[in-house]
A and B are shown apart, each in its own frame.
Chain A
Amino acid sequence: MATFTERMGPVLLLWLAVCLSGSWAVDKGNFKTCDQSAFCKRQRAMKPGESPYRALLETMELTNTRLTLQLINDNNKVRLLLELYRLQGNITRVKINELKPLKPRYEVPDVLIREPPTEPLSLLSQDENGVVLSLGAESQRVIVSARPFRLDIVEGRDVLMSLNSRGLLSFEHLRMRKDTQADPEAENKEGTDPANPAETVKEEEEKVEDGMWEETFKSHTDSKPSGPSAISLDFSLPGVEHVYGIPEHADTLKLKTTDSGDPYRLYNLDVFQYELYNPMALYGAVPVMLAHNTQRTMGIFWLNAAETWVDISSNTAGKTVFGKMLDYVQGSSETPQTDVRWISESGIIDVFLMLGPTPRDVFSQYASLTGTQAFPPLASLGYHQCRWNYNDQEDVRSVDAGFDEHDIPYDFIWLDIEHTDGKRYFTWDPHKFASPKEMLQGLLDKKRKMVAIVDPHIKVDTNYKIHNEIRSRGFYVKNKDGGDYEGWCWPGNAGYPDFTRPDMRAWWASQFGYDQYEGAMENLYTWNDMNEPSVFNGPEVTMHKDAMHESWEHREVHNLYGLYVHRATAEGLTERSGGVERPFVLTRAFFAGSQRYGAVWTGDNAAEWDHLKISIPMCLSLGLVGISFCGADVGGFFKSPSTELLVRWYQTGAYQPFFRAHAHLDTPRREPWLFGPENTALMREAIRQRYTFLPYWYQLFYLAYHTGEPVMRPLWVEYPQDPATFALDDEYLLGRDLLVHPVTEEGARGVTAYLPGKHEVWFDIHTFQKHNGGQNLYIPVTMSSIPVFQRGGSIIPRKLRVRRSSTCMEHDPYTLYVALDNQRTAEGELYIDDGHTFNYEKKELIHRKFSFANGVLSSVDLEPNAQFTTKSWVERIIILGASKPSMVTLKTADGENQLEFDFDASMSVLTIRKPGMNVGADWTVTLQ
């Protein structure tokens, strides 16, 4: 109610001073370029050439589970240990560490769901130049070349991937600081091979460069007590022109080459008003890259949580289409190749080569390492209404009533930081939210839910229970001098709990218990923001790298911090119900494995058309690396959207996994009924479409939870041999069966959608108009258009009785949309459970398969051992692309009866009226 600055006090002023500078775009000067990050500059200065590393084949040991081998750097004689594993499911793991590091180097814990099970490697051949190992399936082999060291993964005659083929393997060994060195001989001995004294002679003196032992950026000095420790490795991908992944970047789906600028950066940062189409780091980091061509899909998972940069180059990138044509015609020249180089500040090289060969294989390979998407409560797939901030209980009540008044469904209303007592999380403002349980009960009475924010920065205030407990238990992150690390954030001076500690996480989780979190009820869920962590007065608005997490520097764990916060919170929500109820937690920062804990959003975007557009590739990139539950703030966080943009954003968001409107404190209200009845109707319709598809969304999430397949996926995932799909990121698929091309242009009169599949057909879900696949289709649009197509050959169950919230629709009947392909067949699935508990793990679920062939639609049980009953029945079957039957017969366990139907000859749509059988039963419907 006061001015923004008054409310935020000095924190904000400071932050503004740092970040704002009065302009709308990101202040790039606040964030490092590769040149400003000493290790990146150092590593990038190293050009491709002959690697100084040599494999010492005589040190090779091959056991049933792994191969080990020493590498030596001929320049400094430092030895490395290479470990090679063949993992179940066609994955090869390559680990490289110092043979005898001065002290242990950090190996990322808690990301892999288990120690990956191995499969035996067998030696195929060996000579003085190297060894050849069999990777089992499909004549796959690993060739270890000794001089210089390189690894090639080969299938038949094809090289799939080469490591260190450009000689960029680099491993800055830990060393004593020269000026404080007690024993100058120690280091030399370390790298010396006693068996070969000749090698000790030519010890190259380590060049001491700037930034090795101390680095300053914008008045922040990183003390770097361990000195230089960077690692780097290159990967060559012959035959590959398309690489994807390594989120989070506000960039296109297909990654660009980085020769002319900075590499893609992975370092979780709170970037104020981020800029689009560049490789700058954002809130989260998943060091996973996918490589794809018409033959094969592969993945590289670089398991390292330190600051990381990824360079991409390509031998075809610079070529024009004509140039490529010429190459093709002349049958000439090199095959296309993409070269990738990973650089991390510290830790070890631990990389998983996921060898596909199909996109689905890569998803399941990655899922076998880091787990799958948490199966969300059904309600969280509905619509979420958020704003910074709903001011008080009365405000919440009136917004809630507004949805009913305008007959718009929603499931969650959200409270941002202002709901707390002075930004003390787990508390409520004593005046504005004096009786939270009353408020939550009011929502519960309408079967709706609430999310309240809990950020990881804790106000330093001796009258604040949470702070006192964390301090007294010694759970705060420490500064380099051993005291509690403190930084500025929303509450002013704040401490940062050390979420890397299991005991800290267990304590944090306990704070969500109903006996601890005052005012909480079972319909209150949580949102973790600022968990990069954001430190307003820290270097690059984050934590100092020399802060300490027990014995490890923050440098080592930085990209992991947000995952741990998310995890501890999700565990808290699970535990408060005794492990019965599924949690729902939204996070801004993330890492590989974050998919196991809930949803992610793309952070503080802006109300601009380009931000609407970028939401597609940003969520597609996340989906490719396991994080399916992704969304962007509908309407845009900063600034105020035009009505047209807002409507288009609702229409887009309704077809993206996490569907939440959000707005900055300083923007005018934008609840969907504030823009005149026409626009209210447009937004209502978009949200209602979302609710009709909830059964499909739920089934896709069940699939994602089971297999790791993304819910929202690029077209190439389903059409891997169609190069026309490889760079598409203005349209996408939901599962296999829905193709969405949102309208993201201002004043658009039409969009051109590529409908894939030469022998496929696609049905407009609104008009049932049939279109052939394998073409670019121009679709005229009006403000009410949301171009969405159902694939011929699919069956999608929907619920058309859209109610106040998803929970209100629980027992509603289904309408089956059967879209026939050219062979007049179709298939689909339906998944049902109670929608909110973990009882599906005990097989309390229904999983049906519907198939249509030879004029018979049948439902069979995919989980015969499962136990669940539903009241829901089938109220309608709509068959698209049908011909007129003379008779329609339903057969169930109870007998046979004829069904009424209606046939629309102009669109070839057959509507079967009220078959009425329970959706969980076995049945057939026969058309004659």
Chain B
Amino acid sequence: MRFHIIIAAFLWAAFVESRKIRGISSSYKRFYRERKSFLCIDGSKMIPFEQVNDDYCDCADGSDEPGTSACPRGRFYCTNLGFRPHYIPSSRVNDGICDCCDASDEYNSHARCQNTCWNLGQKERAYVEGQMKTLDEGLRLKQQLIEEGVLLWREKQAQLRELQRAAEDLQIKLEEHRKRKHEADRLKEQTLKALKAGDKGFRHQNSTVSHLFQLLDSNKDGSISLDEVKAKVVLVHDETRVLSKDEALTLLGGGHQMDLSKFQNTLWDVLIRGDGYKIKDAHSAPGGLMSEDPHLKAADRAAEWEATNLKKVEEAYETVNMEISDLQKKLEIDYGTDWEYLFLNGQCYKLKVYEYMYTLCPFNMVSQKSTAGTEVSLGLWGMWAGPAKNHYSQMVYENGEPCWQGGSRTTSVTMTCGTETALRSVKEPSKCQYIMDFETPVACQPVLKQRGVHSEL
């Protein structure tokens, strides 16, 4: 009999206990010690203890009803033995939906909730274990990548220095070549001037008035006819074309023929200038007939040689400078504290989602190609955009192809920790705004590991 009473008392106590403490975490138990009255945790009101968890909200802070749905701002503590304990809003108590894995939130509803905490806990543990492994592996890979990154960075720096040295050398060469070209040009100009001024010492027999006249006067009748002009004179720039009648007439000064004296004052000048017309088959270059002058020829060749040399050096200089600026631009980008993201520059990663192929070339651009084949830019490298404490967790690509109603496509890439480097998902939550998940070991953070260790399991 006495034994029974003890059991009954024990059960009663257990019942009272279970009613009173429902929905409270152990750290809050001190507020709910059985007394005559209960003080709302915010201190706003004192109520009889029977009114705790009596399904009526007395305290403004909801503290008198931790185990019922009565208070709008209340919260219910799921103990979830075997899994992670957590709070749910009071409004989820007895709403017919299982929220706590230990089923404690549905103690008075039709919902038949199973205690799934052990299973969940196991899954979670397996998951966390997997995550830890991934993290370990990721961090190991990351270390490698950091080392490689540092090497790559140094290599690039060395490359830059080398290029800069080459550029300096080229600069000196360039100056030299410019001088030399200038000199050659000057010489050529002098020669030409002298020749034009009629300096006999420089003038060749072939260029005399009568010599040219005879050259043109095929039938040797002492005058140059229209047909003779057409037969012998051609355009400097188009030797193959026969002159038209009008062109020939112009050269003859309007008449159908001309004698030596007229020739000296008109056509001879034209031919000597050499910039419009010349005598057919005569070897010519700038300078017309004068080019046949050996002095002029030599000066001309020298100038040409220097010009070619200069051009070569200029090109080389330009190329080197471009390489430098490319490299500088590359190196200006923030690749993380240890240059760990540097290796991604120059790589591209692809993922097919439904009918679209997406390409992410980190630090460069993002694009989308439909099965129909049209490629659309989803943005060019913009910046890192993670929160302050994890700056390198997000990239933004901007100024992609314009959108139908203004603005342009942008992509935000979230970096997640993994053992591989790959594009994992692409979404377009709003028009023209893309979200990508990019997995890579370099995104692994040691901090994460600590959190894992101290998880509430």
Q: Which residues of A are interface residues toward B (Cβ below 8 A)?
A: 1-6, 391, 394-395, 407, 431-432, 445-447, 665-669, 800-804, 808-809, 812, 875-876, 913-914
Q: Would you call B107 an interface residue if the criterion is a C-beta within 8 Å of the partner chain's C-beta atoms? A: no
Closest to A446 in B: B97
Known: A4-B404, A6-B372. 17 other contacts (CB 8 A): A1-B356, A4-B403, A6-B370, A395-B427, A407-B89, A445-B97, A447-B95, A447-B96, A668-B433, A800-B72, A801-B69, A803-B95, A809-B95, A812-B69, A875-B56, A914-B55, A914-B56
Judge whether B97 and A3 touch: CB under 8 Å. Answer: no
Residues of B within 8 A of A808 (CB): 91, 95-97
The answer for the CA separation of A348 and B404 in the assembled complex, in Å, is: 47
Residues of A within 8 A of B95 (CB): 447, 803-804, 808-809
Residues of A within 8 A of B56 (CB): 875-876, 913-914
Q: Which residues of B are interface residues toward A (Cβ below 8 A)?
A: 54-56, 58, 69-70, 72, 89, 91-92, 95-97, 353-354, 356, 368, 370, 372, 374, 376, 401, 403-405, 427-433
Residues of A within 8 A of B428 (CB): 1, 391
CB distance from A443 to the nearest CB of B (A): 12
Known A2-B370, A802-B72, A808-B96: A666·B354 in contact at CB below 8 Å = no
Known A666-B403, A666-B404, A914-B56: A803·B91 in contact at CB below 8 Å = yes
Closest to B97 in A: A446
Judge whether B405 and A804 touch: CB under 8 Å. Answer: no
Residues of B within 8 A of A666 (CB): 403-405, 431-432
Residues of A within 8 A of B89 (CB): 407
The answer for the CA separation of A445 and B374 in the assembled complex, in Å, is: 42
Judge whether A875 and B376 touch: CB under 8 Å. Answer: no
Judge whether A391 and B427 touch: CB under 8 Å. Answer: yes
Closest to B406 in A: A666
Judge whether B368 and A1 touch: CB under 8 Å. Answer: yes
The answer for the CA separation of A381 and B427 in the assembled complex, in Å, is: 32
The answer for the CA separation of A431 and B354 in the assembled complex, in Å, is: 7
7 cross-chain CB contacts under 8 A: A5-B404, A6-B370, A391-B428, A445-B97, A668-B431, A802-B72, A803-B91
Known A669-B430, A801-B72, A802-B72: A3·B96 in contact at CB below 8 Å = no
Residues of B within 8 A of A913 (CB): 56, 58
CB distance from B110 to the nearest CB of A (A): 9
CB distance from A772 to the nearest CB of B (A): 30
User: Could you say which of B70, B354, B430 contacts A432, with CB atoms under 8 Å apart?
Assistant: B354
The answer for the CA separation of A445 and B96 in the assembled complex, in Å, is: 9
CB distance from A115 to the nearest CB of B (A): 47
Judge whether A6 and B374 touch: CB under 8 Å. Answer: yes
Judge whether B69 and A1 touch: CB under 8 Å. Answer: no
Residues of B within 8 A of A809 (CB): 95
Residues of B within 8 A of A432 (CB): 354
Residues of B within 8 A of A3 (CB): 376, 401, 403-404
Residues of B within 8 A of A665 (CB): 431
User: Could you say which of B54, B97, B368, B430 contacts A804, with CB atoms under 8 Å apart?
Assistant: B97
Residues of B within 8 A of A803 (CB): 69, 91-92, 95
CB distance from B405 to the nearest CB of A (A): 5
Judge whether B430 and A801 touch: CB under 8 Å. Answer: no
The answer for the CA separation of A633 and B347 in the assembled complex, in Å, is: 45
Most central of B70, B353, B370, B404 by chain A CB within 10 Å: B404
Judge whether B429 and A804 touch: CB under 8 Å. Answer: no
Closest to B95 in A: A808
Residues of A within 8 A of B374 (CB): 6
Most central of A1, A431, A666 by chain B CB within 10 Å: A1
Known A4-B431, A391-B428, A667-B430: A804·B70 in contact at CB below 8 Å = no
Judge whether A669 and B356 touch: CB under 8 Å. Answer: no
Closest to B110 in A: A811
User: Could you say which of A6, A447, A800 contacts B97, with CB atoms under 8 Å apart?
Assistant: A447
Closest to B356 in A: A1
Closest to A807 in B: B96
Residues of B within 8 A of A2 (CB): 356, 368, 370, 376
CB distance from B73 to the nearest CB of A (A): 10
The answer for the CA separation of A608 and B209 in the assembled complex, in Å, is: 90
The answer for the CA separation of A445 and B113 in the assembled complex, in Å, is: 12
CB distance from A668 to the nearest CB of B (A): 4
Judge whether A801 and B91 touch: CB under 8 Å. Answer: yes
CB distance from B399 to the nearest CB of A (A): 16
Judge whether A669 and B96 touch: CB under 8 Å. Answer: no
The answer for the CA separation of A447 and B97 in the assembled complex, in Å, is: 8
Most central of B54, B70, B403, B431 by chain A CB within 10 Å: B431
CB distance from A917 to the nearest CB of B (A): 14
Known A2-B368, A431-B354, A804-B97: A667·B92 in contact at CB below 8 Å = no
Residues of A within 8 A of B370 (CB): 2, 6
Residues of B within 8 A of A1 (CB): 353-354, 356, 368, 428
The answer for the CA separation of A1 and B70 in the assembled complex, in Å, is: 45
Residues of A within 8 A of B432 (CB): 666
Residues of A within 8 A of B92 (CB): 803-804
The answer for the CA separation of A391 and B354 in the assembled complex, in Å, is: 12
The answer for the CA separation of A875 and B68 in the assembled complex, in Å, is: 13
The answer for the CA separation of A446 and B97 in the assembled complex, in Å, is: 6
The 10 closest A-B pairs by CB, nearest first: A808-B95, A4-B404, A914-B56, A803-B91, A666-B431, A668-B430, A669-B430, A1-B428, A431-B354, A666-B405
The answer for the CA separation of A260 and B185 in the assembled complex, in Å, is: 85
Residues of B within 8 A of A914 (CB): 54-56
Residues of A within 8 A of B433 (CB): 668-669
The answer for the CA separation of A454 and B29 in the assembled complex, in Å, is: 55
CB distance from A899 to the nearest CB of B (A): 11
User: Could you say which of A4, A407, A669, A875 contacts B429, with CB atoms under 8 Å apart?
Assistant: A669
Judge whether B429 and A801 touch: CB under 8 Å. Answer: no
Residues of B within 8 A of A812 (CB): 69
The answer for the CA separation of A669 and B432 in the assembled complex, in Å, is: 11
Judge whether B429 and A391 touch: CB under 8 Å. Answer: yes
The answer for the CA separation of A808 and B368 in the assembled complex, in Å, is: 43
Closest to B401 in A: A3
Closest to A430 in B: B354
Residues of A within 8 A of B430 (CB): 667-669
Judge whether B91 and A802 touch: CB under 8 Å. Answer: yes
CB distance from A565 to the nearest CB of B (A): 29
The answer for the CA separation of A605 and B217 in the assembled complex, in Å, is: 91
The answer for the CA separation of A804 and B89 in the assembled complex, in Å, is: 10
Closest to B89 in A: A407
Closest to A812 in B: B69
User: Could you say which of B70, B97, B372 contacts A801, with CB atoms under 8 Å apart?
Assistant: B70
Closest to B90 in A: A801
The answer for the CA separation of A394 and B70 in the assembled complex, in Å, is: 34
Residues of B within 8 A of A6 (CB): 370, 372, 374
CB distance from B211 to the nearest CB of A (A): 75
The answer for the CA separation of A151 and B97 in the assembled complex, in Å, is: 65
Residues of A within 8 A of B429 (CB): 391, 395, 669
Judge whether B376 and A407 touch: CB under 8 Å. Answer: no
The answer for the CA separation of A665 and B72 in the assembled complex, in Å, is: 36
Closest to B405 in A: A666
Closest to B428 in A: A1
Closest to B370 in A: A2
Most central of B54, B97, B370, B427 by chain A CB within 10 Å: B97
Residues of A within 8 A of B353 (CB): 1
Judge whether A875 and B354 touch: CB under 8 Å. Answer: no
The answer for the CA separation of A691 and B54 in the assembled complex, in Å, is: 23
Closest to A875 in B: B56
The answer for the CA separation of A808 and B58 in the assembled complex, in Å, is: 23
Most central of A395, A803, A914 by chain B CB within 10 Å: A803
Judge whether B91 and A804 touch: CB under 8 Å. Answer: yes
The answer for the CA separation of A293 and B312 in the assembled complex, in Å, is: 96
